[in-house]
Amino acid sequence: MYKIELMILVISGFFYAMATLVFYALSTMRRQKQTTIAYIITSVFSLIIPYILVKKYGMMGTAISNLLITIVLFLILTIFCLMAYKKQFPQIAKTKSID
């Protein structure tokens, strides 16, 4: 009955697992401030998106809003992680071409 919703939630679980992996990478680099900012931004999205989607689409809206929120979290954490990596290792982030 809810096969599509279940598949969306499984995909959402994948993105949450990836976000957790990136979170631990940021924590290892001692970037707790960035992780806090990412979770605050995500919590704002989690107040707005489900209110709209669940009201309009019911159970499908719940699954889609969960997916969107986890994707937002993953993307924000990934951006912060890449920024921290470039800041911490500027010599590796810049590649030189061999002529």
Convert the pLDDT of each residue in 20-30 to its tens digit: 999 999 999 99
**Neighbouring residues of 63: CB distance < 8 A, sequence distance ≥ 6:** 4, 5, 6, 8, 9, 12
Convert the pLDDT of each residue in 5-25 to its tens digit: 999 999 999 999 999 999 999
SS3 call for 61: helix
